[in-house]
Amino acid sequence: MTRLIFLGPPGAGKGTQAKNLAEFLYIPHISTGDILRQAIQDQTNLGMQAQSFMDKGELVPDKLVEDMVEERLKQPDAQTGWILDGFPRKVTQAKFLGELLINLREGGEKVINLDAPDAVVINRLLGRGRKDDTEEVIRRRLEIYRDETAPLINYYSDRQQLLTVNGNQSQEEVFSDLKNIIAA
């Protein structure tokens, strides 16, 4: 059973590679952004709670995101494996996820760090042409990533769960590297 957690800076290609790999493996690509949007659209209890924070321009609290991830991992399609993209973002969330997987009697997840240099990531994000993707905004997002998410790299490395893939290659080369890691 394949259980993967994708880490990496914005623009490293996590979403694209997670989606492609999920299709290749016939397992769900679970993005916290998608979970949030779906819960709001479906007007679930958790979705309505999240909407109330978002309507006020506030971040959705960790506990609520954790509850949504837990609910999603318990769905039937996730019983054969999954790829998590966008969660965990902090060490506290990683600890929550570890405990959740023990409670669900799941384990053996691999953590893939899709790494790419800042200059490459900045060029990729600027190339998307989104109006909020200015170099200043992108650099700030990278700074937040380094402060909050990068400690996860050490957390998972200390637990011998971390595998790093060079994200500074073509999409096909990255995908090939990912398939080789999973097969190992």
2-183 domain in CATH 3.40.50.300? yes
Binding residues: 11-16, 32, 37, 58-60, 86-89, 93, 128, 130, 141, 169
Show me where the domains of the chain are located.
2-183
C-alpha span between 11 and 126 (Å, rounded): 10
pLDDT at 133: 83
Q: Is the pLDDT of residue 108 over 90?
A: no
Is 0.85 surpassed by the pTM of this model?
yes
List active site positions: 14, 89, 128, 130, 141
pLDDT digits (tens, 9 = 90+) for 53-79: 888 878 789 999 999 999 999 999 999
pLDDT at 33: 83
Name residue 111's beta-bridge partners.
Answer: 5, 162
C-alpha span between 183 and 176 (Å, rounded): 11
Binding residues for ATP: 11-16, 128, 169
**Alpha helix segments (H runs only) across 13-134:** 14-25, 32-41, 45-55, 62-73, 91-103, 118-127
pLDDT digits (tens, 9 = 90+) for 126-156: 998 888 789 998 999 899 888 888 899 999 9
